[in-house]
Amino acid sequence: MTDSIAADATLAPAKPATRPARPHFSSGPCAKPPGYDPAKLATDVLGRSHRSKLGKQRLQYCIDLMRDLLNLPDTHRIGIVPGSDTGAFEMAMWTMLGARPVTALAWESFGEGWVTDAVKQLKIDPTVIRADYGQLPDLTKVDWSNDVLFTWNGTTSGVRVPDGDWIAADREGLCFADATSGVFAYDLPWDKIDVATFSWQKVLGGEGAHGVLILGPRAVERLESYTPAWPLPKVFRLVSKGKLTEGVFKGETINTPSMLAVEDAIWALEWAKGLGAGGLIARSDANAAALDAIVAERDWLGHLAQVAASRSKTSVCLTVDADEAVIKKMVSLLEAESAAFDIGGYRDAPPGLRIWCGATVDTADIAALGPWLDWAYATAKAAD
């Protein structure tokens, strides 16, 4: 163990000589892709209506890029909707739930949020299968005669489902996957997913406020054959006269989108297209491996996710052998030194660190973070 790793908590070590070139490790909005410059964005559509020929072309182009990168089958539709991932998942819940029993999986705060909405807002009394932060629920207990809600990758706990093998191919219910920290980082089994949602602000490093809703054919069938018992806000309405509003999935958004945010997403998607889906996954894998190495070398750091097979490769949540005050001090020290921005754990999660390892982060910056974590830990402990 090096002197840096075994730093004496009573003596603050010297600051490391090298900082991460891009210290943006926030778990949302996440780091911009390498080489990003807002001056590179196409601007012809700015100041134009999103319903103009050009506006609809750019929105459709954005959808086409997402379809290509996700290797999405033609059977699945993609729509750009308001409210980020939250808005997209709420739209799916409010328009499709209630037709049959529901099972909701919760092992972190966003999964718990869907439980709360199902119970208190929609009042559908779901079966809830929970696990503590750092754990994954028993997936074998899921009854696929129900509609099933879950987060593919728990952003606030660092726990993900390991694959799609647990999802029944002959399911009667719909599979609703909040995949906002999973798309573009894992090879998702689209034949197993009926509804998926995400936002550009995660693995693409895009801007917030816009969500993406992906519907498989079974979800479309549900929408066209079932009318919920509750009233639907205008921004949730996906059906007109009993038929899916197809325009929503061809760039004709329900409400006015930010065309600047759309162009920002297009830039990120074109960057991602140069890498391909496999390249994006490889970058996330390399970043997660680099952070794993840092954790393995330090006895005061650990993974909140207990099992490696279900450990996130994007939103990696770490435990620290220190109290909450010391952890907050570490986060402040690193931000003041421009060595790491926004790496404190989520407010509802156990105290710790959360470091984004998605594809827009460079592996060299993850590696450079290690000595800075040593410095911040020793400095914060010395001041405690």
Half-sphere exposure of residue 323, counting CA atoms within 13 Å on the CB side? Answer: 4
Question: Does 209 fall in a domain?
Answer: yes
Q: Which residues contact 198 (CB under 8 A, 6 or more apart)?
A: 85, 88, 178, 179, 180, 182, 183, 211, 212
pLDDT of residue 9: 45
Instruction: Report which DSSP code applies to 304.
Output: S
Judge whether 132 lies within some domain.
Answer: yes
Amino acid letter, residue 12: A
What are the distances in angstroms from CA 374 to CA 11, 70, 149, 286? 12, 38, 39, 21
Residue type, 292: D
Q: Who contacts 78 (Cβ-Cβ below 8 Å, separation ≥6)? A: 63, 66, 67, 72, 212, 213, 214, 249
Q: At what angle do helices 324-336 and 363-383 cross, to 10 degrees?
A: 120
Residue 309 lies in a domain: no
3-state helix, strand, coil in the chain (%, to 5): 40, 15, 45
Residue 296 maps to a domain: no
Paired tokens of 21 = 């070139």
Element (H, E) at 356: strand 353-356
Buried b / exposed e over 303-339, threshold 16 CB at 10 Å, is bbbeeeebbbbbbbbbbbebeeebbebbbebbbebeb
315-353 pLDDT, tens per residue?
999 999 999 999 999 999 999 999 999 999 999 999 999
Position 384 scores a pLDDT of 83
How many structural domains compose the chain? Answer: 1
Domain-embedded: residue 292: no
What pLDDT is attached to residue 97?
Answer: 98
The position carrying tokens 């949020």 is 113
Q: Helix or strand or coil: residue 197?
A: strand
Crossing angle, helix 259-296 and helix 53-70, to 10 degrees?
20
Residue 100 domain flag: yes
110: domain CATH number is 3.40.640.10
| C-alpha of 48 from chain center | 30
Is 36 within the bounds of a domain? no
Would you say residue 79 lies in a domain?
Answer: yes
Domain encompassing residue 186: 41-265
If the chain, 384 residues long, is cut into consecutive pieces of 10 residues, what is the mean pLDDT of each piece?
Answer: 46 87 97 97 97 97 98 96 97 98 96 96 97 97 98 97 98 98 97 98 95 98 97 95 96 96 98 98 98 98 96 98 98 98 96 98 98 97 90
